[in-house]
Structure formats: structure tokens, C-alpha cells
Amino acid sequence: MKRSIAAATALLVFLAGCSDGDSGDDSGPATLTLAGWSLATTPEFQTLADGFRSVNPDVTVEVKEYDATNYDTQMIADLAAGKAPDIYVQKNLKNFYTYQNGKQLLDVSDVAGKLGGTVGGLQTYQVDGKTWAIPYRQDSWVLYYNKALFDKAGVAAPDGSWTWDDYAATAKELTTKLKAAGSKALGAYQHVWQSTAQGFALAQTSGADLQSGDFGYLKPYYERSLDLQNAGAQVKFGDATTNSLTYQAQFGKQQAAMMVMGTWYMATLRSQQAKGDADKFEWGIAPAPQQSAATAGRSATPVTFADPTGLGVNPKIDEGKVEAAKQFLAYAAGPEGAKALAAIAITPADTAAVKESFFTVSGIPTDELSKFTFATHDTKPENPVSKYTAPLQNILNDLHSAVLSGSKPVDAAITEAQERAKNEVLSK
């Protein structure tokens, strides 16, 4: 759907008009409501709710489930209707400006001021000297690989030094050799999200700037994806969308030997393997492939991307619950919340609190490359905070679909996106 900056501005005005509500009275033990999604496969929300209750027995946290794909659309509607939970998640930074500028977040600067300096991503939620959400997770995109399929193909596994050229060549080699060995698995799987190309391109390309409206930095990343599709080394975008393929099944059911994905998938994969929802096989993580050899290898710091995941407080919350809500944010972002998340293999915002314990979790790989990958990276935001970010990303999502579906050549799609960015967003 095409969205102009005017439409986004209208949405902000609408949200602002819905911000004022009567606060209720607190009586007895508090019950807080918390937004979440995919509760059957995403245990972090209930884990935080239970952990907080264990140290605050007078406060119950009830999790309200939203659709993962349409989370922001549903949340914006619930906020406008006065039905949103007391505490809601900033799933990424794309819509943070919309929520904050629309006065849909309570100032939580006092919580931020009490947190230690090891909480990653905190500064991204600061506007005009105030903090409007608190990060509890800071994921990074990495390369997952199936050691069994690499062994079956007789191909050397990732060693942390790969560029994208190395990745592409290995994907093709794996596909050929796995087929010869009687396997239907492909070398790689690229999920349908625009992040899988654009997040890396923005983070790894020197001088790339989303707000500039110059999207030429995307070209090599899309040319590589198209080449892998055409070579049969990964599922075509059209097939993945038409068949509603999930990245969990593609990797977990050994349909692909490699996949770039965020570190949040570690928790899901270990859980699915334990339950039998994913095949049992040995896997590991390696740094995401790099644009330049200068940032590749274990003597360097690989560049990757991911937005922090934060918690904000609905300003319509009953006044008597505000303190309890802030205590929940402090718990989730602090060392105790970090340890609870690490116990289910979620990457917390405070990674320093769990650097020793994370790899003691059952089902998590313990090899040195996986440990290096978890601890060492330069993680840049996918969505730099700006009033232009959401409408620009919507335009770039159209580009993503057009290019990978084959409906537009790369150069033509980039040119069209740049013209739309100038006319629909940046000139407004």
C-alpha cells in the first residue's frame, strides 16, 4: 500500500486526539496488560510476565496476543479506540516516531536514568532529551547454518570470514552437491521481508542514508538475490509468497542449509527441536556475510543490523498502575530480566549480564564461532528514527516486491522509488 507523508501526518493528528483519557483508581493488587504476538512460538512475553510476578507478587501481568504480521496496524487501531494494553511493545523502530509524536507513549526517562550503561539500544528511544520506551531485547542478524547438510555436501562450513561473494558461491555449491547426494535442500533461504536485503545494504554500505532518498546502495544486494534465485540456489520470492513459506520451517525442516535471520530465531529453533516441530540436527551461527573483507574475520568486528525491541507505557493507563508499569520496564531491561530471557535463548538488551550464562542453555550451540558471533558485532538500526522513516520504508517495500518478483528491473525500481521518495515524502 502506498502511503504519503500527508497520510502519516493525518494519522499522528488522529492519534493525538485520542490520547486523553480518564485515569482510574488503583485498588488492591494491580493487574497490568502487556502486548505480545505469536505466543505459542514466542515465549519471551510470558517469561517476563512470570519473572516479574515472582519478584512482585502483588502485580499480575496478563499478555494480550496480537497478530505478528499486522502488529502495528492493530496496535494503532487499539490505541485510537482506547483498547490498547497498559504496556505495549515497540516491535522495531519503523513506527516509533508515529507512536511518540502521536502522544501514545508515556515519558519513562526516570526508568532510563536508573538503568546501567550496558543496556543496548536505549538511546534510540530518546527524543527531545526524554526517553519514551525501554529496550529489553537487542537482536542482531546473523547467518544460521546446518552443519549436517554442510557435511553431507562435503562443503566447508562458515568460518566467520565470509563476504557476500563467499556466501553466494557457497549457496550455489551446496545446492549442486546436495542434489547430487540425493537431498532436496537448497543452499540458502532468503525470507520475503525487505530486511533480508535492505537492512544489510543500509548497515554495510559506506555513506548509505535512508533519509537521503538515494537508494542506489541497494543495487548489488538485489542483483545477488536475483542471481541466487535464477541459479536455483534459493526459493524464488514469488514461490515463497504464494506458498506462504515460513523461515522457521525452511530452516528447521532442513529445506535450506543456510539462512540469514535475527538472533531471536535461536530461541524458536531450540524450542521447536525440543518439541519435534523442527528436525533434530546440529546447527550454528556465524557472522552475517560482509560487504567488505575489512570487516570480516574474527580479528574484525562484523557489521550487521537490527532494531532494538522496546517496551512503552500507554498514556491511557490508570494512574494507580503507572508505578507498577515502570517497575515492569525496569525489570525487563535490567539484569534479572536479561537472565530470564537468556534462559530461553532470547538476546536481551543487557548482554553483559548474560555473556556467561547464555551458552549454558540446552539446545544452543556452544562452538567458538557461535560464541564470537553472539558477542562481537556492530549492530546498526534498520529504521533510523525520523518522521520520514515509515513512509520511506513503505516505498522501499514496494521496490523489494517488484524487484524480487521480477516485475521490474533493479535500476528501474530504484529510480521509481527515488522519485516517489522525493515527491511523496521528502518534499512534504
Q: Of 85, 122, 118, whose CA–CA distance to 104 is shortest? A: 85
Which CATH code for domain 141-304? 3.40.190.10
* Phi, then psi, of 61 in degrees rounded to 5: -115, 115
Domain boundaries, the chain: 5-139+307-354, 141-304
- Using the predicted structure, report yes or no on whether residue 17 has a pLDDT greater than 70: no
Which three cell numbers mark 399? 521496490
Considering the chain, what percentage of its residues have pLDDT values greater than 70? 93
H-helix or E-strand spanning residue 60: strand 59-66
213 or 13, which is more confident: 213
- Is 136 in contact with 48 (CB distance < 8 Å)? yes
Q: What torsion do the CA atoms of 301, 307, 312, 314 make, to the nearest 10 degrees?
A: 170
Q: What is the DSSP letter of 27?
A: -
Q: H/E element holding 261?
A: strand 258-262
| 5-139+307-354 under CATH 3.90.1170.50, yes or no | no
User: How many beta carbons lie within 10 A of that of residue 275, not counting itself?
Assistant: 9
What pLDDT sits at residue 28? 59
Gap between the Cα atoms of 350 and 333, Å rounded: 7
Q: Does position 79 have pLDDT exceeding 80, yes or no?
A: yes
Q: Do domains 5-139+307-354 and 141-304 have the same CATH topology?
A: yes
- Over residues 51-62, the pLDDT tens digits come to 999 999 999 999
The amino acid present at 190, given as its one-letter code, is Q
pLDDT at 21 over 60: no
Side chain identity at residue 340, one-letter code = A
pLDDT tens figures, 290-320: 999 999 999 999 999 999 999 999 999 999 9
pLDDT score for 22: 40
- Give the Cα separation of 374 and 392 in Å (integer): 30
